């Protein structure tokens, strides 16, 4: 049997005409010439191809989406720091006016803790709202509807002082948390679905970049020369409405997610139009076919719930990995760094009046590291940036523990502590600060993605709340050694990712699922529910010539 196949091929070649024989050496010579070219030429062509993926519409959609979403999340993380004494004075004055006596210090501390932490509770509520909103409204419209929460929260918080009701500030923080919960799920989902796989990581990092820009803006506007004064602090919260209004009036001019239109709304014409807009080219047949293949494989699969996702064997390790990365994202100790920043700067001899300006350096370092990560993520990949980021954080947390313990032994040691703080922030933003959101969009297929973001968002916000609740007790009992707890969490996260996480750079959802298949000991259900392929076999219809990359990988099982 082995000798017959080559013979038949030889006979076929010999029976061909001379006209068919002659042209054959030309492509070979051309291929030889192309292969002999300088590798730099190939690199230039790859670079040009990647540049062509960055269409104007794609850039505008990512910037507008992030400005009205993740920017506000970062802004609300830092905006409460500068006006803290004025807000507490407002609480005390309101309490005394209503009851005739000053507020008890413990009650004031409780009210302030609720004001800060209720943001995370609102975020958890918002996370559970993403799936129904995304199903009926779509990705883009979910972002647009979410602006209503931001504008409502801005009005409540900005008018609280004039109305003399601190409850308005607390409710506004909760509503703003709902906005953040929706934004941190809907935005990464939208960006993941509109971007080509070649730049999916870079575009996904826009979420993290604008979180950092939001933190920096909150620090900047909180300076005494700007809005960080007793008479102007309500405007700090009212400014939230500006990015929301900008997104509300501009995002409607951009298309909906083409994958949502194709796979969930079954509107191929609108999906093709959206693909052309985002990719900046007329021929989008390859992208449409790839999305259609994913849709065919999931024709009999409904939009799964979070509970169903947790019970699905074929995505078990994807879910575990998302849970681990999201938990480490919040529990890695960055929030604790903000707690120590002012005291460490003070120990270094910086006057209290200058500390707010020095603190701006932390926001600047965050932003620069996030931008750098976005520039190199498609070259280095997700895996090295995540593992390297958590590994470096472990190292610098260890050094920071030593410097804080010995900071009174030499005048230069507090400055080393400042360097460690900046290094920890840079390490976090270089990978762990944004890649968890990218991975959540990459790990799961269309029918599973909303549920995956619910799981990721739940872990994110519960971990955020746990840090705010438990850190004061950890710090009180361990002192400067509390950072060893965060070093242990970072090292555990780095080890887990080293042994479990595959590289997802420039890979389709089917390829990523296959990479996890051996560990899951189960193939994706898409293989079993490819009704289109089954129908073709049953009716003996020929398959279309244009087969997608997704179909090829699923059928061959090659990664």
Question: Structural domain boundaries of the chain?
Answer: 53-254, 304-521
Write out the two tokens for 243. Answer: 């990015």
Residue 272: partners with Cβ closer than 8 Å, 6 or more residues away:
258, 284, 288
Q: For 445, list phi and psi in degrees, rounded to 5.
A: -85, 180
Please state the three-class secondary structure of 154-182 as a single string. Answer: HHHHHHHHHHCCHHHHHHHHHHHHHHHHH
Q: Which of 387, 554, 538, 408 is nearest to 480 (CA)?
A: 408
441 and 449 in contact (C-beta within 8 Å)? yes
Q: Which fold has domain 53-254?
A: Growth Hormone; Chain: A; (1.20.1250)
Output the tens digit of pLDDT for each of the chain's 559 residues. 444 444 444 444 444 444 444 444 444 444 444 444 454 444 454 445 555 567 788 888 889 989 999 899 989 888 887 788 888 889 989 988 888 888 888 888 888 888 888 888 899 899 888 888 887 888 889 999 999 999 999 999 999 988 888 889 999 999 999 999 999 888 888 888 887 777 777 777 888 889 889 988 988 898 888 888 888 899 999 999 999 999 999 989 988 888 888 777 777 788 888 888 887 777 777 777 777 766 565 555 567 788 888 888 888 899 999 999 999 988 888 877 766 676 677 766 677 777 777 778 788 888 888 888 888 887 888 899 999 999 999 999 999 889 888 877 787 888 888 888 889 988 998 888 878 888 888 888 777 888 888 898 889 888 888 887 777 777 778 877 888 989 999 999 999 999 998 888 878 777 888 888 888 776 655 444 333 433 443 444 444 443 333 344 333 333 3
Residue corresponding to tokens 């209720």? 118
Q: How far apart are CA 265 and CA 404, in angstroms?
A: 57
Please state the three-class secondary structure of 245-268 as a single string. Answer: HHHHHHHHHCCCCHHHHHHCCCCH
To the nearest 10°, the Cα dihedral for 110, 115, 116, 121?
A: 110
The CA–CA distances, whole Å, from 72 to 213, 289, 367, 412 equal: 9, 36, 15, 37
Specify the pLDDT at position 275: 82
Q: What is the CATH number of domain 304-521?
A: 1.20.1250.20
Specify the pLDDT at position 296: 61
Establish whether domains 53-254 and 304-521 are of one fold. yes
Q: Burial, 5: exposed, middle or buried (Cβ in 10 Å; 0-12, 13-18, 19+)?
A: exposed
175 and 149 in contact (C-beta within 8 Å)? yes
Q: Which of 54, 120, 70, 450 is nearest to 247 (CA)?
A: 70
């Amino acid at each position: 049997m082995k000798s017959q196949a080559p013979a038949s091929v030889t006979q076929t070649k010999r029976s061909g005409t001379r006209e068919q024989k002659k042209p054959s050496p030309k492509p070979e010579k051309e291929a030889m010439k192309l292969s002999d070219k300088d590798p730099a030429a190939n690199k230039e062509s790859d670079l040009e191809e990647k540049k062509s993926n960055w269409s104007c519409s794609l850039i505008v959609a990512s910037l507008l989406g992030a400005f009205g979403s993740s920017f506000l999340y970062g802004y609300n993380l830092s905006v409460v720091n500068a006006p803290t004494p004025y807000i507490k004075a407002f609480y005390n004055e309101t309490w005394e006016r209503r009851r005739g006596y000053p507020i008890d210090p413990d009650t004031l501390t409780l009210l302030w803790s609720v004001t800060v932490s209720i943001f995370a509770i609102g975020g958890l509520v918002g996370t559970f709202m993403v799936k129904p909103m995304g199903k009926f409204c779509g990705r883009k419209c979910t972002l647009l509807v979410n602006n209503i929460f931001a504008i409502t929260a801005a009005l409540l918080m900005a008018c609280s002082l004039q109305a003399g009701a601190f409850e308005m500030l607390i409710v506004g923080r909760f509503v703003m948390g709902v906005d953040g919960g929706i934004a941190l799920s809907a935005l990464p989902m939208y960006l993941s679905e509109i971007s080509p796989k070649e730049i999916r990581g870079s575009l996904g990092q826009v979420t993290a970049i604008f979180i950092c820009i939001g933190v920096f803006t909150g620090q900047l506007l909180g300076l005494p020369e700007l809005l960080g004064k007793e008479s102007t602090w309500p405007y700090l919260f009212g400014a939230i409405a500006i990015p929301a209004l900008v997104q509300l009036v501009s995002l409607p001019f951009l298309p909906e997610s083409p994958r949502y239109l194709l796979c969930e709304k079954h509107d191929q014409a609108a999906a093709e139009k959206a693909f052309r807009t985002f990719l900046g080219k007329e021929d989008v047949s390859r992208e449409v076919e790839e999305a259609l293949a994913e849709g065919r494989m999931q024709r009999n699969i409904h939009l799964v719930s979070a509970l169903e996702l947790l019970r699905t064997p074929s995505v078990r390790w994807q879910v575990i990995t998302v849970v681990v990365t999201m938990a480490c994202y919040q529990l890695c100790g960055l929030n604790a760094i903000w707690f120590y920043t002012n005291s460490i700067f003070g120990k270094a001899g910086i006057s209290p009046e200058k500390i707010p300006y020095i603190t701006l350096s932390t926001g600047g370092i965050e932003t620069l590291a996030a931008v750098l990560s976005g520039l190199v993520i498609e070259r280095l990949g997700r895996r090295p940036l995540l593992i390297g980021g958590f590994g470096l954080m472990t190292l610098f947390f260890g050094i920071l523990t030593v410097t804080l313990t010995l900071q009174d032994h030499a005048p230069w040691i507090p400055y080393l502590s400042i360097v460690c703080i900046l290094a920890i922030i840079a390490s976090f933003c270089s990978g762990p600060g944004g890649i968890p959101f990218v991975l959540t969009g990459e790990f799961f297929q269309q029918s599973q993605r909303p549920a995956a973001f619910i799981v990721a968002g739940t872990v994110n916000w519960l971990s955020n709340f746990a840090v705010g609740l438990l850190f004061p007790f950890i710090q009180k009992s361990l002192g400067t050694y509390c950072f060893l707890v965060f070093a242990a969490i970072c090292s555990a996260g780095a080890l887990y990712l080293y042994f479990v996480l595959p590289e997802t750079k420039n890979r389709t959802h089917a390829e990523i699922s296959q990479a996890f298949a051996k560990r899951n000991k189960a193939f994706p259900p898409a293989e079993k529910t490819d009704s289109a392929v089954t129908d073709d076999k049953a009716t003996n219809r020929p398959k279309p010539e244009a087969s997608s990359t997704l179909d090829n990988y699923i059928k061959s099982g090659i990664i």
